[in-house]
Amino acid sequence: MTKARELVERDVVIRDCRVSKKYIEFDTSMSEGIDISSLVRALEKISPLANYEHIVERHVEKEESIKRAIELFNDEKYWGTHEALEGVWKETPPGSERDLLNGMILVAAAFVHDEKDEREICMSILRRARMKLEGATGMYHGIDMDRFVTLIQNILTTGIIERFTI
């Protein structure tokens, strides 16, 4: 993150950085009128650009959001997973489905912290996620929740954070 901050123009803020097996993700903010290509050129000195996404809150249908969240999770883009599920969670009435969604969001958030080498925060969030996922079984929009919960429990039991696909 320090290197990225050194490379960009002064009107660009590198707010956060996450490292997965495939990507280095930067959260950036910049003043209006800054040419995105100059930001891309600067950050490509660290790593080639896989994609750039301008994040804005927008309504997306539930099925599409969950499908996108699965793709993002499996591609180790946990912050995007969190964002994709949050809209669905907000529109889901209180109950077991809302808790399940909250648990999945928390798992994605935990893995964001793991990418930032914040192990204790990751484990703490996984414990909260596990409580929200209590009783989550069967299939949920193509996600095997029995397996999902078991994998979270294994991390909590062993203390070894192994990110997985769904």
| Residue spans per domain, the chain | 2-43, 62-158
125-150 per-position pLDDT tens digit: 999 999 999 999 999 999 999 999 99
Cβ neighbours around 139 below 10 Å, total: 9
Query: Can you give the pLDDT at residue 80?
Result: 92
Is CATH 1.10.3450.10 correct for 62-158? yes
User: How many CA atoms does the CB half-sphere of 121 hold within 13 Å?
Assistant: 11
Q: By percentage, how much of the chain surpasses pLDDT 70?
A: 97
- Model confidence band, residue 56 (pLDDT cutoffs 50, 70, 90): low
78-92 per-position pLDDT tens digit: 999 999 999 999 999
Residue among 131, 134, 135, 166 at smallest CA distance from 151: 166
- Model confidence band, residue 16 (pLDDT cutoffs 50, 70, 90): confident
Mean pLDDT of the chain: 92
